[in-house]
Every structure is written in structure tokens, then in C-alpha cells.
């Protein structure tokens, strides 16, 4: 159960970070309203708060989170940007997720 909660929290955290970065991108690159910076700021604050909810050491959480971020970014590429991931994109994402699982769920000795 711990593993599912950790992965779910990482997934929500990744979406918050991507939204927080994507909205300024729309403003800067696509001429959308600067008002997008308001929800972007809130989303990035949510991202930081969500990372703080993990019981593991911060460095370990940040390292492992990166693997989930890679996976979610590739899904964003497909679902939001409308670009189908290549087999290499998918393979790389899976490697990153396996890396996250090794970092977060490996047995530890106190």
C-alpha cells in the first residue's frame, strides 16, 4: 500500500510541476495572457508542498521523483501536445520509473 501511495503522490506532484511550467511557456512562446502566471505560481507552490509530504529523506525523494517526472512528461507530450511518443520515449520512461522504484522501495538497514 505504501508503494501505491508513493507512486500516486509522485504522479500528482509531477502534474503540478508540469502545469506550473507549461502555463508560463504558453505565455512566453505562444503569446497567451500573462494572467496564466497566477495559476502557474499556485501550481508550483502545490508541487513544492506535495514533495514535502514524503516521509523519505529529501534527496532520495527528489532523485526518485525525477523518474516519475520523466514518465509524466512523456504522457503530457502525447495527451496535451498531441505528439505520439516513440518506442524510445516509452522505453526511456520505463527505465526512469524502474530507477524510481529501486531508489524508493529498496530494502534499507537502519
Q: What would the pLDDT profile of 34-61 be if each residue is shown by its tens digit?
A: 999 999 999 999 999 998 898 777 788 8
Percent of the chain at pLDDT > 90 equals 67
pLDDT greater than 70 at residue 84: yes
pLDDT greater than 80 at residue 109: no
Residues 6+ apart with CB under 8 A from 104: 3, 6, 56, 60, 64
The predicted structure's pLDDT at residue 30 = 94
Mean pLDDT of 77-99: 96
| Band (28; pLDDT cuts 50, 70, 90) | very high
Residue 35 CA to residue 48 CA, distance in Å, equals 21
For the entire predicted model, the pTM comes to 0.85
Are the beta carbons of 51 and 65 closer than 8 angstroms?
yes
Amino acid at each position: 500500500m505504501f508503494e501505491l501511495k508513493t507512486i500516486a503522490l509522485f504522479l500528482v506532484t509531477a502534474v503540478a510541476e508540469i502545469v506550473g511550467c507549461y502555463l508560463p511557456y504558453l505565455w512566453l512562446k505562444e503569446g497567451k495572457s500573462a494572467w496564466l502566471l497566477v495559476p502557474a505560481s499556485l501550481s508550483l507552490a502545490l508541487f513544492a508542498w506535495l514533495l514535502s509530504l514524503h516521509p523519505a529523506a529529501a534527496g532520495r525523494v527528489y532523485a526518485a521523483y525525477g523518474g516519475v517526472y520523466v514518465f509524466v512528461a512523456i504522457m503530457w507530450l502525447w495527451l496535451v501536445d498531441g505528439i505520439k511518443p516513440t518506442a524510445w520515449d516509452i522505453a526511456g520512461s520505463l527505465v526512469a520509473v524502474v530507477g524510481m522504484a529501486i531508489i524508493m522501495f529498496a530494502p534499507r538497514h537502519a
